Amino acid sequence: MLNNDDYVFKVRGNYTLACWGEVFKYSVDDWKTVIDGMAEDQKNTIYFWLSGLFRSEKYPESFFYPQTRLKDADVRELIYYCHGKGIKFYLGYGVFAWFGMDKVAEAHPDTLAKENGGMCPSNELARKINLEYGMEMLDRYPGVDGFFLEMRDEYGPCLCDTCQKPLDEHGSKQYGQSELTWLKEFTTELWKRKPEAEISVTVGYREKGSHTNDPMYYEGIRAMDEPRTYWMAVRDNYELPGAGGKQYPLSHFSKQMLHWIQYYSCSPKQIGEWAARAHKAGAIGACPAFEPGFNSYSYYSYDVPFPVNVLPYRMTRFAFQQFCGNPELSYDRFKELAASEFFDPGVDPRYVEDLLYLSEVIQAACGSRKTRLSRAWKSGWFRECAAVAAKATDGKSLSEDEWHVVEAAVTEFRKMDHDHSARLAEIETRLMLLESKGGRSRATAEIMRKAIIDTRWELMFGPEHEELLARALKNAKCNLPETKG
Ligand SMILES: [Zn+2]
């Protein structure tokens, strides 16, 4: 059992996207369930996305999800709830872009960025709006610990003449400097109102070259290094361009670097490799994405609330916690720790392998882009889609994209049935021994059994589905004449 002081990574939390899929429908209690899981993992920070969910009075057009269940009092309650569990609460919003801010941009067309969407960071009105939006949130939720600011860079840079003004021979542009001067204006205003407030800002985007060769941007970040300011490196960056256009490890730019990944897509081994690499580059914290409505690599993306205690996410959480405790933990030692977390003493080590195996089967099933209609798996979609495809005699029942998905998904899931069914049955037999006992082993056996049952159901394993799936596949091939083989 780790104590709070034992962790090598001092900042641990979730970048929490409360918007995609059905997640904006979560109630306070739904969020409390999620937060309880974070607290169990000794996470100490939550970056809670509010763009589009925040009921701004100043910019009402930014309220993008009218079905949002969280009212102001609810957000305040969540802040209070997090504090009770030792978790800092940051208000998250997209700066110069994303959901709510895009709606405001539409209402103020002169603020629009050139070509790449969102707002221009060099535009005075855009700067004012983005600052006021944040300050209105602060006024509404004065108890917060800080802000999580997602800069517009995933959209690519603004291509207006001002933003594109070259500043050095390496490729630095005014675009980056405009973002940084905005951040300085933002923190000046923030710290006037709440001197202890912290900020965490995403960095490292390369989309459409947003900051690919922008050493002046990263050197500017370096100059802003101070204890209330955190930077969250995204996009698998462990080095960034600095002085002279050379690459430097994250620690060169700040003592307060955090690292981000979509950890739900990773096996525990990959989580360990990520933590080790981020630690070596000088990161002092890790803040992976919790965004079930966008994706979860599980069958439960549309469950409200997302079940945090089932596989594979339960395993993801545990791996994250252990590798944050010690990023140099060996994988063998990790497995020993998993044995004592999930089972009673003296358990056969095969059960740990089974647990990891089940997690990986689900992640593999839900991870391939071409076998899904959308990133977030909606429970039962494959069964429905396959049934329609099996009945369809012409191409009109499904779109061409859907036929492609049917073809890929039926092929892939039939292969998985072939590859995994025997092992699933074997695990199932072994589970009976655990289920006859009590304690941890029995509780874990339950989540393992659920993983097996749900996998068979979602992926239509078993001979009873063979005929229907064969028909669906045949129809897909008929309706996709260009498909070879
Ligand atoms: Zn611009």
pLDDT value at position 437?
Answer: 83
Cα(162) to centroid(ligand 1), Å: 6
**397/465 same-domain check:** yes
Average pLDDT over residues 402-406: 95
**321/360 same-domain check:** no
pLDDT value at position 449?
Answer: 98
pLDDT value at position 482?
Answer: 65
Average pLDDT over residues 216-230: 97
Cα(127) to centroid(ligand 1), Å: 11
As a whole number, the mean pLDDT across the chain is 96
pLDDT value at position 484?
Answer: 47
In the chain, how many domains are there? Answer: 2
In a domain, 390, yes or no: yes
pLDDT value at position 2?
Answer: 86
Cα(91) to centroid(ligand 1), Å: 26
Tokens of residue 195, six digits: 């001197």
The alpha-carbon radius of gyration of the chain (Å, integer) is 24
Cα(179) to centroid(ligand 1), Å: 10
Q: How does DSSP classify residue 148?
A: E
pLDDT at 290 over 90: yes
**211/268 same-domain check:** yes
Instruction: Give the model's confidence band at 485: pLDDT under 50 very low, under 70 low, under 90 confident, else very high.
Output: very low
- Of the candidates 328, 363, 392, which is a domain's last residue? 328
Cα(31) to centroid(ligand 1), Å: 37
In a domain, 8, yes or no: yes
Cα(354) to centroid(ligand 1), Å: 53
Q: Which CATH number goes with the domain that contains 204? A: 3.20.20.80
Cα(178) to centroid(ligand 1), Å: 9
Cα(149) to centroid(ligand 1), Å: 19
**Residue 283: Cβ-neighbour burial (10 angstroms; 0-12, 13-18, 19+):** buried
pLDDT for 14-29, tens place per residue?
A: 999 998 888 999 999 9
Which stretch of 69-78, 316-325, 432-441 has the lowest confidence by average pLDDT?
Answer: 432-441
- Of the candidates 303, 328, 353, which is a domain's last residue? 328
* H/E segment holding residue 259: strand 257-259
Average pLDDT over residues 131-145: 98
- Of the candidates 295, 328, 361, which is a domain's last residue? 328
Cα(204) to centroid(ligand 1), Å: 19
pLDDT value at position 145?
Answer: 98
In a domain, 484, yes or no: no
pLDDT for 465-483, tens place per residue?
A: 999 999 999 999 998 876 5
In a domain, 308, yes or no: yes
Cα(116) to centroid(ligand 1), Å: 10
pLDDT for 28-45, tens place per residue?
A: 999 999 999 999 999 999
Handedness of CA 393, 399, 401, 405 (dihedral sign): negative
Cα(164) to centroid(ligand 1), Å: 7
Cα(160) to centroid(ligand 1), Å: 4
In a domain, 485, yes or no: no
In a domain, 373, yes or no: yes
pLDDT at 323 over 90: yes
pLDDT value at position 31?
Answer: 98
Q: Is residue 473 within 8 Å of residue 380, measured between CB atoms? A: no
Average pLDDT over residues 413-423: 98
Average pLDDT over residues 45-59: 96
pLDDT value at position 77?
Answer: 98
Q: Which residue has the higher pLDDT, 22 or 272?
A: 272
CA gap 94, 155 in Å, rounded: 11
Q: What percent of the chain has pLDDT over 70?
A: 99
Q: How does DSSP classify residue 377?
A: P
**134/253 same-domain check:** yes
Task: List phi, psi (to 5°) of 291.
Answer: -150, 60
Cα(174) to centroid(ligand 1), Å: 9
**216/245 same-domain check:** yes
pLDDT value at position 438?
Answer: 81
pLDDT value at position 287?
Answer: 96
Going by DSSP bridges, is the β-strand pair 45-49/11-16 parallel, antiparallel, or unpaired?
parallel
pLDDT for 169-188, tens place per residue?
A: 999 999 999 999 999 999 99
375: three-class secondary structure by DSSP: coil
pLDDT at 130 over 70: yes
**79/228 same-domain check:** yes
Q: What percent of the chain has pLDDT over 90?
A: 92
**269/341 same-domain check:** no
pLDDT for 56-88, tens place per residue?
A: 999 999 998 888 999 999 999 999 999 999 999
Cα(240) to centroid(ligand 1), Å: 23
Average pLDDT over residues 381-407: 91
**362/293 same-domain check:** no
**285/376 same-domain check:** no
In a domain, 290, yes or no: yes
Average pLDDT over residues 262-270: 98
**Structural domain for 74, as ranges:** 4-328
Cα(121) to centroid(ligand 1), Å: 6
pLDDT at 224 over 90: yes
HSE at residue 41, side-chain half, CA atoms within 13 A, is: 30
**26/151 same-domain check:** yes
In a domain, 57, yes or no: yes
**89/150 same-domain check:** yes
**367/314 same-domain check:** no
Burial string for 19-38 (b: 16+ CB within 10 Å, else e) reads bbbbbbbbebebbbbbbebb
Cα(99) to centroid(ligand 1), Å: 19
* H/E segment holding residue 358: helix 350-367
